[in-house]
A and B are shown apart, each in its own frame.
Chain A
Amino acid sequence: MISLEITAQGGVRMLQDDAVDLRELGKVKVKRASHVEFSNKTQLWYVQSAKTKKMLKADFKTRAAALAWEKTYYSPSGKGWAELTGGK
């Protein structure tokens, strides 16, 4: 599933997914949203905000699980969307 937002002013924004190429709609700007890394100490994967450096969740057994959680967190209806868009 891919989620994107079309703003009231006609802008489009989303968490990058190669299945959707926003360059078809205009010039894109891309910035890093998060880091998904492995902790050698805990032996678990974690998701960290690229903007705030806050550790968002750190108990994933697999990288795939971390990526899936991150995708939901940073979707237009997710808790992390405001952080990416500067919204409330």
Chain B
Amino acid sequence: MSHFTAVSTANIVSKESFVAACKEMGFKEITENGDVRGWAGQKRKMDVAVRVPNCKYDFGIVKNGTKYDLIAEDYLNKYEKPGILGKVIQLTTKHQIIRDYRLKGFTARVTEKADQSLHVTLTR
């Protein structure tokens, strides 16, 4: 008799996992305490700033209590790089889980499914 448990959108709780995810996505300019480009030429300081090449806008994370807020212009996620923020959260979560559960003695195996979800198997 089991229960189905879900988190609709995972929080970013690890800066290191976020950076690992961004590197995995191929981003090269990842700067701690850097600026991101926003609407109308605005710049905003981030705990980690990620420059998005060939785009007007960037994204980054800012600490908010025990987690980080993912900050980006809507235009980036809707038009310039559709779905990019979901992918960032997905891969950050993957790295977070692998790191956290490796410390608990688990080995993780990850496969990507046809619908672009990730199937993570933890064994000990």
Contact = CB atoms under 8 A, between A and B. Distances in A.
Given A7-B90, A25-B93, A13 B7 contact: yes
Contacts of A26: 7-11
Nearest to B8: A11
Contacts of B11: 25-26
Contacts, number: 135
Contacts of B93: 6, 10, 12, 25
Size class of the B contact interface (CB-based, 8 Å): 35 or more
B121 A2 contact: yes
Contacts of A58: none
Size class of the A contact interface (CB-based, 8 Å): 35 or more
B2 A4 contact: no
B115 A11 contact: no
A33 B2 CA distance: 5
A36 B1 CA distance: 5
B123 interface: yes
Interface of A: 1-16, 19-20, 22, 24-37, 67, 70-71, 74, 76-77, 84, 87
29 contacts: A2-B106, A4-B120, A4-B122, A7-B86, A8-B86, A9-B89, A9-B90, A10-B90, A11-B8, A11-B9, A12-B10, A13-B4, A13-B7, A14-B4, A14-B5, A15-B2, A15-B3, A19-B122, A22-B5, A24-B13, A25-B13, A27-B7, A28-B5, A30-B3, A32-B3, A34-B1, A35-B1, A67-B2, A74-B4
